[in-house]
């Protein structure tokens, strides 16, 4: 019995250690991520928390600060993530169609610069992508990105309104963007 308990402790501590990862652009690990189910969480305006300032270095090498007081779609992604590759053309299309109305921005997580750059070029992503995934910590106390990919929608008052965990679909993203856009400006 003691051998069984000791073996169970070794296995559980090994699983715990291998399931944790520190993240960062230089530490991609396809086997240590959580994939969501594409389910949206919508927060009523009165219950929303402020989003963090979105600023820092981008994949293009420039420093950027996203302007507040507009609807913002934030996509957290990695080039090695299959659902990220599947949703990339859809996000690129939305960003192009809604240019000037909704700001799209990406946050690259657990990836490297060259792979991320290839991903952006392959899928013709025109919106800026932050390379500092430490930005994700700023969402604590709100709807923290909890999977790769995660898509957040920030309302015009700079509050996190929606989190879609996992691959977005056209219908889901369209309905959530429109739902947030249709809210009264004083909400």
Q: Is residue 18 part of a domain?
A: no
Residue 186 pLDDT grade (very low, low, confident, very high; cuts 50, 70, 90): low
Residue 5 pLDDT grade (very low, low, confident, very high; cuts 50, 70, 90): very low
Q: Is residue 158 part of a domain?
A: yes
Q: Is residue 10 part of a domain?
A: no
Burial (CB < 10 A; 0-12, 13-18, 19+), residue 117, is middle
Residue located via tokens 């073996």: 7
The boundaries of the domain holding residue 142 are 23-181
Q: Is residue 8 part of a domain?
A: no
Q: Is residue 12 part of a domain?
A: no
Identify the weakest region by mean pLDDT among 44-53, 114-123, 139-148.
139-148
Identify the weakest region by mean pLDDT among 8-12, 31-35, 83-87.
8-12
What 3-state class would DSSP assign to 40? strand
- d(CA 45, CA 7) in angstroms, rounded, equals 50
pLDDT in tens, 53-103: 999 999 999 999 999 889 999 999 999 999 999 999 999 999 999 999 999
Q: Is residue 13 part of a domain?
A: no
Residue 169 pLDDT grade (very low, low, confident, very high; cuts 50, 70, 90): very high
Q: CA angle at residue 107 from 157 to 147, to 5 degrees?
A: 95
Q: In the chain, how many domains are there?
A: 1
Residue 42 pLDDT grade (very low, low, confident, very high; cuts 50, 70, 90): very high
| Spatial CB neighbours of 104, under 8 Å, sequence gap ≥ 6 | 72, 73, 75, 91, 94, 95, 98, 127
CATH code of the domain containing 163: 3.40.30.10
Q: CA angle at residue 165 from 18 to 22, to 5 degrees?
A: 30
Polymer length of the chain: 187
- d(CA 184, CA 92) in angstroms, rounded, equals 27
Secondary structure element (H or E) that encloses residue 130, with its range: strand 129-130
Residue located via tokens 């800026």: 128
Contact 91, 124 (CB under 8 A): no
Q: Is residue 9 part of a domain?
A: no
Q: Is residue 81 part of a domain?
A: yes
């Amino acid at each position: 019995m003691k051998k069984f308990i000791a073996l169970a402790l070794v296995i559980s501590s090994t699983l715990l250690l291998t399931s944790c990862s520190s993240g960062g652009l230089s530490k991609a690990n396809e086997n240590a991520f959580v994939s969501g189910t594409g389910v949206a969480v919508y927060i009523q305006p009165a219950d929303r928390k402020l989003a963090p300032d979105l600023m820092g270095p981008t994949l293009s090498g420039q420093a950027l600060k996203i302007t507040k007081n507009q609807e913002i779609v934030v996509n957290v992604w990695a080039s090695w993530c299959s659902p990220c590759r599947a949703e990339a053309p859809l996000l690129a299309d939305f960003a192009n169609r809604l240019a000037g109305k909704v700001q799209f921005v990406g946050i690259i997580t657990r990836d490297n610069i060259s792979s991320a750059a290839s991903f952006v070029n392959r899928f013709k992503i025109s919106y800026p992508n932050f390379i500092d995934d430490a930005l994700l910590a700023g969402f604590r106390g709100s709807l923290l990105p909890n999977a790769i990919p995660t898509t957040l929608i920030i309302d015009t008052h700079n509050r996190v309104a929606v989190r879609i965990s996992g691959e977005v679909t056209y219908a889901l993203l369209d309905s959530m963007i429109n739902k947030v856009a249709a809210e009264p400006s004083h909400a």
